[in-house]
Amino acid sequence: MQVFKFGGASVKDAKGVKNLINVLNKTGYKNTLVVVSAMGKTTNALEVVITDYFNNKSALQSSVQAVIKFHNAILLDLFDDEKHKAYKKVTVLFNELKSFLDTNKSPDYNFVYDQVIGFGELVSSVIISEYLNDVGLKNHWIDVREFIKTDNYYRSAKVHWEETQERITNNFNRTQLNITQGFIGSDSNNFTTTLGREGSDYTAAIFAYCLNAQSVTIWKDVPGVLNADPRYFENSQLLHRISYREAIELAFYGASVIHPKTLQPLQRKEIPLFVKSFLKPENAGTKVCKEAGLDPQIPCFIVKKNQVLISLSSLDFSYIVEDNLSEIFKLLHLYKMKVDVIQNSAISFSVCVDNMYQNLDKLLQHLKAKFKVTCNENVSLYTIRHYNNEAIGQLEKDKEVLLKQLTHETMQIVTK
């Protein structure tokens, strides 16, 4: 078995879907599971639908319509005959979405989010499956929610591994080309759950683990894992081979090319992960595997934008020690802040966080009752793995550094 994952960028339009066929034809698709994301920026568009549902009902219809229109244009490019069953299947899904929005009674944002957002993957996988069938790549569409079972921690659900393994072992047909959705699963009441933004890579890894697959390949718009995100850094270089450990570190610090949860299941069964270009499928790309450390051994740069730096000191100049720290961390946990870096001295404590759940105001209010608080929003966190002086100099040039931290292998700065 091989598992392929095609992300939003690879299937952002009809041309992308056609190119997916080119990739499958070049690589072979026997005993293959193809996991697909929502097309292009559909997930972001569905986030607008959710925001409108809660905050701007008058705009809701038009935001839903924008998502439908985007997919209709792709359908028209792919299927000449408007009686093709792809149209019907997509309409059924969008009707299901509309009916949910009409009838839902739950005020729980995270629950609603997961019921709505998954339509991106459902529609995308239906269109791709139908198109592959049309051009002779006979395949089997599967609803991933019948396989990946999770808890009901909506928007960041945890996989129930035993049940998932059992379902995959008993019900998954390995001998055919299967197409399914990334990112989503279902809870014990069969409500849709999601594994966290960009979670489709992780879906591929879950299946690979449960199927003892030979490899996972994630097809990207870059040649592989580079030593820096080409959107923000010039002259980034391809990393040919990386160990699981190194890849986990890169993903952890925010190299968004691989979802951080993807690597651990693969590492456990020593299943290699390939990151390759969907435009040049014949190129080797990057191999993440057990042996290699980092080849070539060069500094790797990672940036996380839109972070928040919070600095605390005690109101009475007493030390910030265990009891204060445990209280601070309890609050960070309560408000679901993703902690990137911490630094403390005797009377101060700084923490750089990702305000993923928009709880910053509540957190600050709570902290201000106990501490003197300063807060810098919209800061950037830069990390260099395997830094050297030249790399640090290059990075710090022209930047106002608010916090800096060095360990043996990793250097981090928070900048304005």
Taking CA atoms, 150 is separated from 7, 55, 64, 181, in Å, by 22, 29, 27, 15
Separation between Cα atoms, residue 77 and residue 69, nearest integer Å: 12
What six digits make up the tokens of 319? 């030390």
User: Is residue 226 a contact residue for ligand ADP (CB under 6 A)?
Assistant: yes
Of the residues 24, 38, 127, 257, which one makes contact with ligand ASP according to CB under 6 A: 38
Q: How far apart are CA 69 and CA 248, in angstroms?
A: 38
Of 178, 173, 175, whose CA–CA distance to 24 is shortest? Answer: 178
Residue 182 binds ligand ADP, judged by CB under 6 A: no
DSSP 296: S
3-state secondary structure of 272: coil
Question: Which 107-146 residues touch ligand ASP, going by CB under 6 A?
Answer: 120
**# residues near ligand ASP by CB under 6 A:** 12
Q: Output the six-digit token pair for 142.
A: 């599967």
- Binding to Mg ion (CB under 5 A): which residues in 195-214? 198
Q: In angstroms, give the least distance from the CB of 354 to ligand ASP.
A: 15
The tokens describing 205, both together, are: 């890894």
Window 347-366: residues binding ligand ASP (CB under 6 A): none
What is the C-alpha radius of gyration for the chain, rounded to an integer number of angstroms? 23
Binding segment for Mg ion among 4-12, 87-95, 339-347, 353-361 (CB under 5 A)? Answer: 4-12
Q: Does 225 bind ligand ADP (CB under 6 A)?
A: yes
Give me the least distance between CB of 336 and ligand ASP, in Å please: 17
Q: Does 7 contact Mg ion by CB under 5 A?
A: yes
User: How is the chain split among helix, strand and coil, in percent rounded to 5?
Assistant: 40, 25, 35
Q: Which pair of structure tokens corresponds to residue 124? A: 């995308």
Give ∠ CA 300-301-302 in degrees, rounded to 5. Answer: 125
Q: Identify residues 121-140 at the interface with Mg ion (CB under 5 A).
A: none
Q: Using the rule CB under 6 A, is 260 a contact of ligand ADP?
A: no
- CB-based contacts of 64: which residues, under 8 Å, 6+ apart? 49, 94, 97, 98, 101
Cα separation of 6 and 29, whole Å? 14
Q: Does 384 bind ligand ADP (CB under 6 A)?
A: no
Question: What CA–CA distance (Å, rounded) separates 11 from 108?
Answer: 31
Which 185-214 residues touch ligand ASP, going by CB under 6 A? 197-200
Of residues 155 and 366, the one with the C-beta less far from ligand ASP: 155
Cα-to-chain-centroid distance, residue 376: 26
Which listed range, 3-11, 141-149, 245-253, 276-284, lies at the site for Mg ion (CB under 5 A)?
3-11
Q: How far is the CB of 328 from ligand ADP (least distance, A)?
A: 30
Q: Which is nearer to ligand ASP, 182 or 299 (CB)?
A: 182
- Eight-class DSSP state of 261: G
Name which of 368, 68, 37, 81 is nearest 183 in CA terms: 37
The nearer residue to ligand ADP, 36 or 101, going by C-beta atoms, is 36
Q: In the complex with ligand ADP, which residue's Cβ is closer, 12 or 366?
A: 12
Query: For residues 67 and 69, what is the distance between their CA atoms, to the nearest angstrom?
Result: 5
255 binds ligand ADP (CB under 6 A): yes
Output the smallest distance, CB 35 to Mg ion, in A: 12
Q: Shortest gap between Cβ of 51 and ligand ADP (angstroms)?
A: 21
Q: Which does 38 bind (CB under 5 to 8 A by kind): ligand ADP, Mg ion, ligand ASP, none?
A: ligand ASP
Q: For residue 8, state whether it binds ligand ASP (rule: CB under 6 A).
A: yes
Nearer to ligand ASP, 201 or 249 (CB): 201
Could you say whether residue 16 binds ligand ASP (CB under 6 A)? no
| Token output for 275 | 């990151």
The piece of 100-108, 209-217, 218-226, 331-339 that touches ligand ADP (CB under 6 A) is 218-226
The half-sphere exposure of 401 on its side-chain side, counting CA atoms within 13 A, is: 14
Residue 198 as a binder of ligand ADP (CB under 6 A): the answer is yes
Binding site for ligand ASP (CB under 6 A): 7-8, 37-38, 43, 120, 182-183, 197-200
Binding site for ligand ADP (CB under 6 A): 7-10, 37, 198, 220-222, 225-226, 228-231, 255-257
